[in-house]
């Protein structure tokens, strides 16, 4: 659908909104699985681009209210879920705009030296969000439609290694192939890489989806784009480490699980 078709569908299915302006938002930072609009400056309207994305919106509709109860920042709260009469999946959803702008690496790194208290405050927000999200019982996520991984943690890595050996190593020089093969073996030989329990994960916790106050970037205002909700490794939620830096990474972990052996989370950048 194009913007005109989306506007007509919105007017037809939700005439009570009386939207005067519908502005298409760039996909960067808002996800490319949906066409996302800002209606009259205060309402987000999201149209899924595929049946798979519509099914993901259905899972979000069930889990976001439960997530909202557990985290210290705002997450999307769907006000309208308009379903396709032929599939019963969402044709589009609406939710109030969460104010803020993407929390970028330079902002975080500047706060580390310029305002240590603010640096800690934003780390506490990210750590608190992760702790709350990961406390959601897996059985609730499964009831909402998320799948439990079919393979064990180790089986998944072994499967990945087999694919790398079959498809990548033959294209490398002998020395490069041997070095990569040793790296894969070393990963499998380290029990710390497999000593964790699956949790409900955001699945795409990049700087695009962490929002900070425009006027006071030391305050995390919200987290958006839960289309990739999954059940998996909690360390996979921390791939932002390379953008924000190690100091922020370890500070977030202190707020996330202060009593744990945090060194185990060093795997957050391994093979990701």
- pLDDT band at residue 184 under the 50/70/90 scheme: confident
Locate 25 and state its tokens. Answer: 């938002």
* 262/5: higher pLDDT: 5
CA within 13 Å, CB half, 220: 27
pLDDT number for residue 266: 66
Q: Is the pLDDT of residue 264 over 90?
A: no
pTM reported for the whole predicted model: 0.85
> How far apart (Å, rounded) are the C-alpha atoms in residues 83 and 183?
48
Decide which of 231 and 188 is more confident. Answer: 231
Neighbours of 224 (CB within 10 A): 24
Residue 116's alpha-carbon distances to 120, 240, 247, in angstroms, are 6, 20, 11
Q: What is the dotted CATH code of the domain comprising 101-148+197-269?
A: 3.90.1200.10
CATH 3.50.50.60 for the 19-96 domain, yes or no: no
Report domain extents, the chain.
19-96, 101-148+197-269, 153-193
Q: Would you state the structure tokens that stand for residue 63, as one six-digit string?
A: 């889990």
- Each residue's pLDDT tens digit, 84-117: 999 999 999 999 999 999 999 999 999 999 999 9
Query: Apex CA 130: angle with CA 128 and CA 58, to 5°?
Result: 125
Residues sharing a CB contact under 8 Å with residue 267, sequence separation 6 or more, in sequence order:
192, 193, 233, 235
25 vs 244, more confident? 244
More confident residue, 1 or 131: 131
Q: What number is the average pLDDT over the span 178-197?
A: 83
Nearest Cα neighbor of 158 from 194, 203, 204 is 194
* Start-end of H helices in the chain: 3-13, 51-68, 105-114, 116-134, 138-144, 153-167, 174-189, 241-244, 246-256
């Amino acid at each position: 659908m194009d913007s005109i078709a989306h506007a007509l569908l919105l007017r037809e299915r939700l005439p009570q909104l009386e939207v005067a302006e519908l502005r298409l938002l760039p996909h960067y930072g808002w996800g490319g699985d949906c066409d996302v609009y800002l209606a009259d400056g205060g309402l987000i309207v999201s149209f899924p681009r595929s049946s798979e994305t519509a099914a993901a919106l259905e899972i979000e509709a069930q889990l976001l209210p439960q997530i909202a109860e557990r985290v210290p920042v705002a997450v999307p709260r769907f006000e309208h879920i308009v379903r396709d009469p032929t599939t019963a999946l969402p044709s589009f959803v609406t939710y109030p705009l969460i104010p803020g702008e993407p929390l970028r690496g330079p902002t975080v790194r500047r706060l580390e030296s310029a305002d240590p208290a603010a640096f800690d405050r934003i780390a506490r927000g990210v750590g608190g969000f992760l702790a709350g999200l990961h406390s959601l019982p897996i059985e609730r996520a499964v009831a909402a439609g998320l799948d439990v991984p079919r393979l064990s943690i180790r089986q998944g890595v072994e499967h990945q290694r087999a694919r790398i050996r079959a498809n990548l190593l033959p294209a490398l020089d002998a020395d490069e192939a041997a070095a990569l093969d040793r790296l894969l073996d070393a990963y499998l030989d380290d029990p710390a890489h497999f000593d964790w329990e699956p949790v409900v994960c955001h699945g795409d916790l990049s700087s695009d989806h962490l929002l900070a106050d425009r006027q006071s970037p030391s305050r995390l205002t919200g987290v958006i784009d839960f289309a990739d909700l999954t059940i998996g490794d909690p360390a996979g939620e921390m791939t932002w480490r390379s953008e924000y830096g190690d100091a922020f990474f370890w500070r977030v972990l202190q707020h996330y699980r202060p009593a744990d052996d945090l060194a185990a989370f060093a795997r957050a950048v391994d093979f990701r």
